[in-house]
Structure 1
């Protein structure tokens, strides 16, 4: 059993309070956060949550820290980062407002968040706004815990990798909350690049993959991740390496092998190779889980392929060369 794996048998016995704030993560993930705070984390280095949302995950973790025999509320700090507002590019829900809907004159739920987390404010530091603005490029303080629920775009993931992954040390714990999201392949191929230096805790907890750093991560590996300096083929190989390590989630509901295969299609899609993207995605249309939960993903890749095919002579390299030759 891995170091973090010892928490899995405790999941069924966790009873979180009914007052825990609304969250977009599952009850299983909230329980795991509580257990990390209660039984694993010390707070001697930075505890960082990227993407706190309405506060449910923050509350679960903070509650565990408060009940921990080793966490010192006088010196330990939990850092919560988020836009704390709804609107384009924030991926936030109006359910994060106490009323359940955004007031007409205010798109910020920061005060609602503060109110829900009031019991933990003495050791909670809130960083509201764009992560590129609220994080410190010069901060090299080691990070003991990093919960990543904010890397919905490649732009944000670059900030995460430059300013937070570089501060991981042996013993650091990382949670990728969106690991079941095929549209976020940077989470998957970056994990593949880190495999020689980490230990995966066990099956993902619903959409969350947890791992612990067990060896120092070389600077050149972190730099390549930050600069996105991998070819498409390299990224596909890195994702394939992750596929060899994980199968279904802890509850048996999410089949990660096809999910990661779908993520490969998005690597090609974002690289502009829509023919290859659809060739990777099309065989997955028969997968029960993906066809039920990711129909819009298939539509996106199929339409991109068809559009590219119409504009570039069938989508083949030869067709594109012919069109260029005739000046079209």
Structure 2
């Protein structure tokens, strides 16, 4: 059993309070965050949450820290980063507001967040705004724990890599909350690049992959990840390496082998190779989980392929002749 794996048997016994704020994170993931705070983290180095949203995950982690026998609230800090507002590019839900909908006079739910997290404010440091602006490029202090629920775009993930992954040390714990998201393949191929230096805790906890750094990560590896300098084929190979380590999540509901195969399609899609993307995605249309939960993903990749094919005169020879005859 891995160092973090010892927490898995405790998941069923965690009872979180009804006062926990709304969260888009599953109950299982909230329980795991609580267990990390209660039984694993010390607070001697930075504890960082990237993408705190309405505060559900922050609350679970902070409650665990508050009940920890080793975390010192006077010196330890939980750093919460988010836009703390709804709107374009924030990927936030109006459910993060206490009322469940955005008020007419503003789009920030920061005050709601503070009210929800009031018991933990003495050791909670809030960083509101764009991560590129709210994180310090000169901060090299070690990070003990990094919860990543903010890397919805490659631009943001570069910031995460440059300013937070570089501060990981042996013993640091990382949670990738969006690991079941095929549209975020940078999470998957970067994990593949880190495999020689990390130990995966066990099956993903629903959408979250947890791992611990066990060897120093070379600067060159982190620089290549941040600069997105891997070729498409290299990225596919890195994802394949992760596939070799994962099957289903710990509840048996999410088939990560298929999810990661779908992520490969998005690697090709983002590289502009729509034919290859659809060739990778099409065989997955028969996967029950993906067809039920990612129908819009299939539509996106198929549409991009068809549009690209149309632009480049794809189709049968007869079709091309007909188009030529009618002047198209």
- Fold in common (TM above 0.5): yes
> 2:266 and 2:216 mapped to 1: Cα distance?
30
Residues 1:104 and 2:104 are matched in the alignment: yes
Residues 1:26 and 2:17 are matched in the alignment: no
> 2:134 and 2:313 mapped to 1: Cα distance?
46
> 2:215 and 2:314 mapped to 1: Cα distance?
47
> 2:313 and 2:137 mapped to 1: Cα distance?
46
Please list every run of at least 4 consecutive aligned residues from structure 1 whose deviation after the TM superposition is greater than 2 angstroms. Answer: none
> 2:134 and 2:31 mapped to 1: Cα distance?
28
Q: Per-residue displacement from partner, 1:60-80 (whole Å, max 9, x unpaired)? A: 000000000000000000000
Using the TM superposition, give the Cα deviation of residue 313 of structure 1 relative to its aligned residue in structure 2, in angstroms.
2.4
Residues 1:259 and 2:256 are matched in the alignment: no
SS state of the match for residue 91, structure 2? coil
- What TM-score, normalized by structure 2, do the two folds share? 0.96
- What TM-score, normalized by structure 1, do the two folds share? 0.96
Gaps (5+ residues) in structure 2? 316-327
Residues 1:287 and 2:318 are matched in the alignment: no
Using the TM superposition, give the Cα deviation of residue 290 of structure 1 relative to its aligned residue in structure 2, in angstroms.
0.3
> 2:140 and 2:212 mapped to 1: Cα distance?
19
2:208 — aligned with what? 208
> 1:280 and 1:48 mapped to 2: Cα distance?
36
Q: Per-residue displacement from partner, 1:115-166 (whole Å, max 9, x unpaired)? A: 0000000000000000000000010000000000000000000000000000
Q: Per-residue displacement from partner, 1:251-277 (whole Å, max 9, x unpaired)? A: 000000000000000000000000000
> 1:134 and 1:255 mapped to 2: Cα distance?
36
> 2:245 and 2:312 mapped to 1: Cα distance?
38
1:199 — aligned with what? 199
CA RMSD of aligned residues (A): 1.1
Q: Per-residue displacement from partner, 1:187-236 (whole Å, max 9, x unpaired)? A: 00000000000000000000000000000000100000010010000000
> 2:166 and 2:205 mapped to 1: Cα distance?
25
SS state of the match for residue 211, structure 2? strand
1:230 — aligned with what? 230
What are the within-5 Å matches in structure 2 for residues 1-328 of structure 1? 1-314=1-314
Using the TM superposition, give the Cα deviation of residue 105 of structure 1 relative to its aligned residue in structure 2, in angstroms.
1.4
Gaps (5+ residues) in structure 1? 316-327
Using the TM superposition, give the Cα deviation of residue 249 of structure 1 relative to its aligned residue in structure 2, in angstroms.
0.2
Using the TM superposition, give the Cα deviation of residue 312 of structure 1 relative to its aligned residue in structure 2, in angstroms.
1.0
> 2:36 and 2:172 mapped to 1: Cα distance?
12
> 2:198 and 2:42 mapped to 1: Cα distance?
19
> 1:136 and 1:177 mapped to 2: Cα distance?
23
